[in-house]
Structure 1
Amino acid sequence: MTVLNYLVKCSALLLVVMAFAACDADKFYDESLSLPGDRWPGEEALSFTMNIEDTVSPYSFYINVRNSTSYKYNNIYFFLTTSYPGGGLSRDTIECTLADKSGKWLGKGSGRYRDNRILIRDDIRFPRKGEYTLRLNQAMREEVLEGISEAGVRLEKK
């Protein structure tokens, strides 16, 4: 291999790596937690804690859901409880659609699982600096919801 060929291959590899890194440049926070056996007990909350220092910039808020193709519903409801720095709570009920009316899965993937990133709110701003805790519970009125393998939250700084 000549030096020129080596440099061309290294440059191409570097460009590919940079392209993949740039695809997620807006990510501020992204975490999902696994649910053993694709089972989510109704009383089990998934908890996510983040430190917010920027109260001026807007963020986009997403929920990540990984479901198996054996999941028997076309949607999922969540309870989202937010704990604010210095005290205070809020609670929202959120619906996320996972399949269209014909039953075709909307998420990415093939085989047994589909990954969904669902925009919940755009242009949100945090009122105070400090530590925020978000807790997700499934709200599907089942003691144990089957077919969900992961759930999480993602914040992107705009």
Structure 2
Amino acid sequence: MPTRNLLLLFILFFSFVACDNQLAFSDYRSFTKGWENTDTLEYSFEAPDTVNPYHLFFNTRVNQDYEFNNLFLIAYIQFPNGMQIGDTLEYEMAYPDGELMGEGFGSVKESKLWYKSGVTFSEEGTYTVKINQVMRKFGKVEALDTLKGIMDFGIHIETIPKQEN
């Protein structure tokens, strides 16, 4: 029994030491049957501060049901004053041979995708990031009803290490 407690204590200690101290905000949405084209993901957060710059990332977890080499998104960031900036984004998700990019073993891969670099939240208050997937089959005009293979999609806001400033 003491060995089991010692192992649990070691795991907890290592988890705290290994935590990412650069993370200012993180939130995820999970999908059971895929990301429907009518699902707008929305992440709201308070400005961490109004002086320091931050990097914004999207994080995905996909499985082998993801049948595309890329991912097209439309993302908006809304400022506390109501102003909004939109971006159409494309990310590579697989190699030319179809193997999924990202970290992980087996059929599930996690990818950290750049969204914005060096962002200063100059206004105090609540910021909101909204994201839609806008994937289409090759040669088709209409959007996919459901983007299969997406298990989780999230946003990370990280402080920029001092050597990057």
The interval holding the TM-score normalised by the smaller chain is 0.7 to 0.9
Q: Which runs of 4+ in 1 moved over 6 A?
A: none
Distance 1:107 1:17 in 2: 22
Equivalent residue, structure 1, for 2:88: 93
Q: Show the 5 A alignment for 1:103-114.
A: 103-114=98-109
Distance 1:153 1:18 in 2: 21
CA RMSD of aligned residues (A): 2.2
**Consecutive unaligned residues in structure 1, runs of 5 or more:** 1-5
Equivalent residue, structure 2, for 1:148: 150
Distance 2:119 2:32 in 1: 32
Cα gap change, 1:18 to 1:82, in 2 (>3 Å) = closer
Is it true that 1:19 corresponds to 2:17 in the alignment? yes
Distance 2:117 2:81 in 1: 24
Distance 1:17 1:147 in 2: 29
**TM-score normalised to the size of structure 2?**
0.80
Distance 1:46 1:18 in 2: 29
Is it true that 1:138 corresponds to 2:133 in the alignment? yes
- Counterpart of 1:29 in structure 2: which amino acid? F
Greater strand content: 1
Cα gap change, 1:57 to 1:84, in 2 (>3 Å) = same
**Consecutive unaligned residues in structure 2, runs of 5 or more:** 136-142, 161-165
Cα gap change, 1:85 to 1:27, in 2 (>3 Å) = same
Q: Show the 5 A alignment for 1:72-91.
A: 72-91=67-86
Question: Which residue, 30, 33, 53 being the options, matches 2:29?
Answer: 33
- 1:114 to partner: Cα distance: 1.0
Instruction: Kindly indicate whether the alpha-carbon contact (under 8 Å) linking 2:48 and 2:121 is maintained by their aligned counterparts in 1.
Output: no
- 1:86 to partner: Cα distance: 2.1
Equivalent residue, structure 2, for 1:128: 123
Aligned length in residues? 149
**TM-score normalised to the size of structure 1?**
0.83
Distance 1:129 1:95 in 2: 30
Equivalent residue, structure 2, for 1:56: 51
- Counterpart of 2:26 in structure 1: which amino acid? D
Task: Specify the SS of the correspondent of 1:71.
Answer: coil
Distance 1:18 1:30 in 2: 17
